[in-house]
Chain A
Amino acid sequence: MTPLAARLQERRIHAFSVRVGHAPSDEPLPGGQRSLAHLRPHESARVVGYSPELPASHARRLFDLGFAPGADVYAVRRAPLLDPSIYRVADGQVALRRSLARHVLVDLS
């Protein structure tokens, strides 16, 4: 690993205490918390953090893709087979699978 990659790996993106577990995606998480997977097409939300179950490397990649705490996300559409979904974030469109989206915790706006 290069020194820069090591420094980038040390980045801590503030962890969130709400665990996603195996909660069904149509019900809110503990404390009424929602995730990106809860968003219906045409709904918007603001990213607040990631579930503690999400590997830290995945959280850092989502951050680098623009799914950063504070970012506004708009659910554009779902695939005909209902997964993955396209989200608009940081002026671009990115498709995420539900298995990843459910770890991105959001506030509905």
Chain B
Amino acid sequence: MSHHHGQSGARVAEGTRRFALVGSPNSGKTTLFNALTGLRAKTGNYPGVTVARYEGATTAGGDTVLIEDLPGTYSLDPISPDEVIVSEMVDAHESYDGRRPTPDGLVVLLDATALQRSLTLLTHVLHTELPTIVVLTFGDDLARRAGSVDAAGLSAALGLRVVPIVAGQRSSVTLLREALAEVEEWPAPAVLPPLEPSELGGWIRSVLTRASYRPPDVDARTQRIDAVLLHPVAGTAVFFATMFGFFQTIFTLAAPLQAYVEQLFGWLGGVASERIAVPWVADFVSEALIGGVGGVLVFLPQIALLFVLIAVLEGVGYLSRAAFLMDRVMGSAGLEGRSFVSLLSSVACAVPGIMATRSLPSERDRIATMMAAPLMTCAARLPVYVLLISMLVPADARFGPFGAQGAVMFGMYLLGAVSAMTAGWVFAKLGGRKQGAIPFYMEMPSYRFPRPATIAAAVWEACVAFVKKVGTIIMVTTVLLWALLNLPLQSDADLVAAGIDPADEVAVSSHVIEQSYAADVGRAISPVFEPLGFDWRINIGVLSSLAAREVFVATLGQVAAAENPDDPQAALAEMTVTSGPRTGEKLFTPPVVIALLVFFAYALQCMSTVGVLRRETGTWRWPLTAFGYLFVVAWVMAFLASRVAGAVT
């Protein structure tokens, strides 16, 4: 347990100084962290909790020092797991079995436009009695709003060194680096400030007076923008337009980019299989290895675009407004406004959607949102639904003025959204019982221009973390499934013996699948899926869809191609049951198709989602919980749906 030294951090020499950034959300902490560490930051998780840890190296006076960006907090009196982390990190009085080494110094960010509140947090920090330095941010905002503060006076009043930092100004960051190099010389206040609530107000007033603080005027620009963006009519319209654009971007704009990635890796796979003489090696390299790498990288356009959008919306200040507008709706599911963006992103793909839960301040809401996100109808379910719906509903059937196929598709989206909200509600309730309710409050920051460097860092970090941590899981799954679907190897002699022409690729691939270990697994698990009406061939499809849901379509196509290579779709529709009491009957009866539709609406048939859940929660507990509960729900709902459909038809 205790061998987790820097499990997420950079490997550094003994004796390297560590500094922690402490500040409230929106205090400019992330911007400062990026300015100090650039793209050398590492993310991980604090052991045992679903709290992301950001750590990076920088140089101070020629030495390498480590900077840790602690979760934003308004107080060291913790009420959420994130705040417990901050509280334990900075309180030097106790040792935490070496997993969380106490920093050598604390960098406290004071937002110059909200100095009064920032000073409350500073009083808590000073009672840790660790060496502390103050960074004063948003001085430019303060000046714009006709406020002013005398940094030297503030320094004298606090008894601390104060470094004013202007975002994007290298020289001010250089001053901070120099200060970090001489932590031994940082002054400490002669008398600690009061913690007693009745004395705090007087202390803050005296500090503000000695700093000649003139508070900022009400931010007129923010008021004007809010008057539109939070207006009952105009604000709601802008909200839906923004979310529509958001959704369009990750769905539509990412699609061609993803197609390029797929084409590139398809081409690479083709080149590889041409160059490699041994057929099974060629197949392994092109499909399992190159296909696996492609299967990882294909997510990057979506993840990058999503994080650009989130970083821009958050940097501007709109994300809090969107959460404010949606809070009541999400609150009905026991979640909060900030969960909305994550669930919306999950309509494109649950992987970026789950990564977007990082913006949620409470662990309970993060977990509940993560457990709900895989239920939103993602893009990978579309080809599966299209195939199944076309087998269920004739193309020319109408449902009132609408095409019946489209109506069923809409119903599937609705089923996903309602199920996600229900799951969120259940997990929020379960989490709330364990943790106790956290009061909801959300700062509405002033509108600001986002910094390109901050956006770039957020996108870069998300992509790197995804490739590193989730890539392995996707690769392993792809290789494993390839082995299941292609082994044991069929030599040409085996094929001839089985009456297959080795030159007939379609017949060969069908034969290989039928003889594969996957087919054995499909037969072995048939008792599980028997009540749903699935036979071993459907089971292979379900098994193969664990790599990605849309693979279900290709696998069923391969199986069906054996019977009618010219028209696999028709062959699927004509396929009959080959064993058991239903022998000779059609396999894809309406109850079976409906059971499959419902099964795919619920089941977590996506190892990438499992991987990202592992990555974001830092434990196997939540991915296994999600996989398990969604499988059980999928089975039960599919069973009920097929029984109801069987009774009606």
| Chain A interfacial positions (CB closer than 8 Å to B) | 1-5, 7-9, 11-14, 57-58, 60-66, 68-70, 76-77, 79-84, 86, 88, 90-97, 99-100
Contact = CB atoms under 8 A, between A and B. Distances in A.
B446 to A, nearest CB: 8
A73 B333 CA distance: 30
Interface stretch (B54-62, B64-72, B436-444, B465-473): B436-444
A94 B443 contact: yes
Contacts of A8: 75-77, 124, 195
Contacts of B232: 80
Given A2-B91, A7-B195, A63-B197, A91 B117 contact: yes
B128 interface: yes
Contacts of B128: 4
Contact of B77 (A64, A86, A90, A96): A64
Contacts of B442: 84, 94-95
B195 A64 contact: no
Contacts of B117: 64-66, 90-92
4 nearest A-B residue pairs (beta carbon): A2-B91, A8-B77, A64-B75, A93-B444
23 contacts: A1-B87, A2-B87, A2-B91, A2-B93, A2-B94, A4-B91, A5-B77, A7-B127, A11-B195, A58-B79, A61-B74, A61-B77, A77-B226, A79-B325, A81-B329, A84-B324, A84-B328, A86-B324, A91-B114, A91-B215, A91-B216, A95-B327, A96-B440
Task: Report which residue of B76, B77, B93, B117 has the largest number of chain A beta carbons within 10 angstroms of its beta carbon.
Answer: B77
B200 to A, nearest CB: 8
A88 B444 CA distance: 9
Given A13-B197, A61-B441, 5 more contacts: A11-B197, A61-B439, A64-B120, A80-B235, A90-B114
B394 interface: no
A11 B198 CA distance: 10
Interface residues of B, number: 51
A100 B331 CA distance: 13
A63 to B, nearest CB: 6
A99 to B, nearest CB: 8
A3 B91 contact: yes
A67 B526 CA distance: 61
B504 interface: no
B127 A91 contact: no
Interface in B223-252: 226, 230-232, 235-236
Contacts of A76: 226
Contacts of B222: 93
B121 interface: yes
Interface of B: 74-79, 87-88, 91, 93-94, 113-117, 120-121, 124, 127-128, 195-198, 200-201, 215-216, 218, 222, 226, 230-232, 235-236, 320, 324-325, 327-329, 331, 439-445
Contact of A57 (B74, B79, B116, B325): B79
A9 to B, nearest CB: 6
A57 B358 CA distance: 24
A12 B440 CA distance: 21
A9 B195 CA distance: 10
B66 to A, nearest CB: 21
Contacts of A66: 116-117, 120
A80 B197 contact: no
A95 B215 contact: no
Nearest to A7: B195
B339 to A, nearest CB: 15
A2 B78 CA distance: 10
Nearest to A82: B328
Nearest to A64: B75
A88 B215 CA distance: 13
B121 A64 contact: yes
Contacts of A69: 197
B87 A80 contact: no
Contacts of B325: 79-81
Contacts of B328: 79, 81-84
Contacts of B440: 84, 96-97, 99-100
A100 B114 contact: no
A80 B239 CA distance: 12
Contacts of A99: 440
A62 B79 CA distance: 12
Contacts of A14: 198
A83 B91 contact: no
A16 to B, nearest CB: 14
B78 A65 contact: no
Given A70-B201, A91-B115, A58 B127 contact: no
Contacts of A61: 74-75, 77, 79, 439, 441
A62 B198 CA distance: 15
B114 A11 contact: no
Nearest to B80: A61
A106 to B, nearest CB: 16
Nearest to A100: B439
Contact of B127 (A4, A62, A84, A93): A4
A98 to B, nearest CB: 10
B478 to A, nearest CB: 45
B441 to A, nearest CB: 6
Contacts of A93: 222, 443-445
Nearest to A101: B441
Contact of A97 (B216, B236, B331): B331
Contacts of B200: 68
A97 B77 CA distance: 21
A79 B77 CA distance: 29
Given A77-B226, A92-B114, A100 B218 contact: no
A100 to B, nearest CB: 5
A96 B94 CA distance: 35
A83 B332 CA distance: 12
A11 B199 CA distance: 11
Contact of A86 (B121, B201, B444): B444
A79 B441 CA distance: 14
Contacts of A63: 197
A33 to B, nearest CB: 21
A59 to B, nearest CB: 9
Contacts of A83: 327-328, 331
Contacts of A94: 441-444
Contacts of A3: 91, 93-94
